[in-house]
Amino acid sequence: MRLWVKILKENKIIKDTVYKDKEVMTQDTVKKALREICYKLDIPTPMLIGIQYRHLVKFNTLTLLEKDFIESIDFDKLVIENWI
């Protein structure tokens, strides 16, 4: 599993990182990866529900907005791309 995670503000990338792991992509491994990525980027961890995970698997991309976070954020969206 390789994920490219980008933080966007006004449609510009302000931070990004690549997460690599040898584990197979499942909902639990994506949640674990997202926790580690958010810790590394020093941002709140968003809620990831089943339909969002299925969207990531089907389209290899997922965009999380402010409504997906419990805490307030200072960026517009968090984009996760699955690099197969």
Read off the pLDDT of residues 47-78 as tens digits, 9 standing for 90 and up.
889 999 999 999 999 999 999 999 999 999 99
Give the tokens for residue 55.
Answer: 């969207």
- Cβ(84)–Cβ(60) under 8 Å? yes
What SS3 state is found at 1?
coil
Give the tokens for residue 43.
Answer: 């941002």
At residue 69, the pLDDT reads 93
The residue range of the domain holding 19 is 2-82
Read off the pLDDT of residues 14-44 as tens digits, 9 standing for 90 and up.
999 999 999 999 999 999 999 999 999 999 9
Number of separate domains in the chain:
1
Instruction: Determine what percent of the chain is predicted with pLDDT higher than 90.
Output: 92
At residue 66, the pLDDT reads 93
Order of strands across the sheet that contains 77-82:
12-20, 2-9, 77-82, 61-65
